Amino acid sequence: MLMLSFVRAFAVSLAVLAPLAMKLATWMVARSLNMPEPLVRATGLFMFVQVQAFENSVAQSLCPVRLVRRLKSWFR
């Protein structure tokens, strides 16, 4: 029972600290690059979307199940 309350307190503290950590990280990156924070956030979001789109398009062709099927068909 004591462990459950500890885990619950830890989860609540993470939920509170996560946005603060994100804001601090954004501020630090913006400060080091000498850029405004909204531009850093927008650039980060743009890069995330681009990488996600690339991974989704490539993941279909590099799926392990599909690769195994393709290899099996080559050696038949």
Helix/strand/coil percentages in the chain, nearest 5? 90, 0, 10
Report the predicted TM-score, pTM, of the whole model to 2 decimal places. Answer: 0.55
Residue 6 lies in domain: 1-34
pLDDT in tens, 16-47: 777 888 888 889 989 999 999 999 999 988 99
How far is the C-alpha of 27 from the C-alpha of 34, rounded, in Å? 10
Question: Do 40 and 26 share a structural domain?
Answer: no
| Total domains, the chain | 2
Question: Do 42 and 54 share a structural domain?
Answer: yes
Tokens of 2: 């004591």
Tokens of 14: 């993470």
CB 30 within 8 A of CB 37: yes
How far is the C-alpha of 31 from the C-alpha of 39, rounded, in Å? 12
